[in-house]
Amino acid sequence: MMRLIMLAVLGTIALLSTALGAGVAMDDSLTPGAIVSADPAVVCAPSYARSQRLYDTDRDAYWRTVHTVLDAYHVAFADRHGYQIDHRVPLCLGGGNDARNQWPQPLAEAHEKDDLEWAACIAVCRDHTMTLDQAQRLFLAPADWRGAWSAFR
């Protein structure tokens, strides 16, 4: 009886982990990245990144992209709340909004990557301690953004 209870608990944990986005890793073949601008004068302009947010500028296109990205990664639309549709190359670094630059990032790691994105955007646009090309290459490196974060620090 105890064994059955333990199996039920483990099964529930596995299902919850999947529903909350555990186990989905960025796939270089599905999300190779896409850059729409390599010009620091453009991407560092005030409000540039905000003006590029598809959710704010074209909701229909945003939802089509969400469906495309979730389908590519075999994530059910009903499970989308366990993920953040994330840009491989951030908008503030000239990344594009198309599906080649987005993936369903598990929420458990989203804030960690957001910290790297913010730091890289500040390094390029405010502090000028990194070129835009360097920052874009950091995010376009094989899908190990944690390794990129370690190298960046």
Per-residue pLDDT at 27 = 92
Q: Is the pLDDT of residue 78 over 60?
A: yes
**What is the pTM (predicted TM-score) of this model?**
0.79
pLDDT tens digits, one per residue of 97-142:
999 999 999 998 888 889 999 999 999 999 999 999 999 999 998 7
Q: Is the pLDDT of residue 41 over 70?
A: yes
Per-residue pLDDT at 14 = 34
**Residue indicated by tokens 């990194």:** 130
pLDDT tens digits, one per residue of 1-32:
433 333 333 233 333 334 444 558 889 999 99
Q: Considering only CA atoms, which of 94, 88, 146, 148 is closest in space to residue 125?
A: 94
Per-residue pLDDT at 152 = 62
Mean pLDDT, residues 80-88: 93
109 vs 66: CA distance, rounded Å: 19
Number of domains in the chain: 1
- What is the domain range of residue 101? 2-152
129 vs 41: CA distance, rounded Å: 15
Q: Report the interhelical angle of 145-152 vs 107-125 (nearest 10°).
A: 40
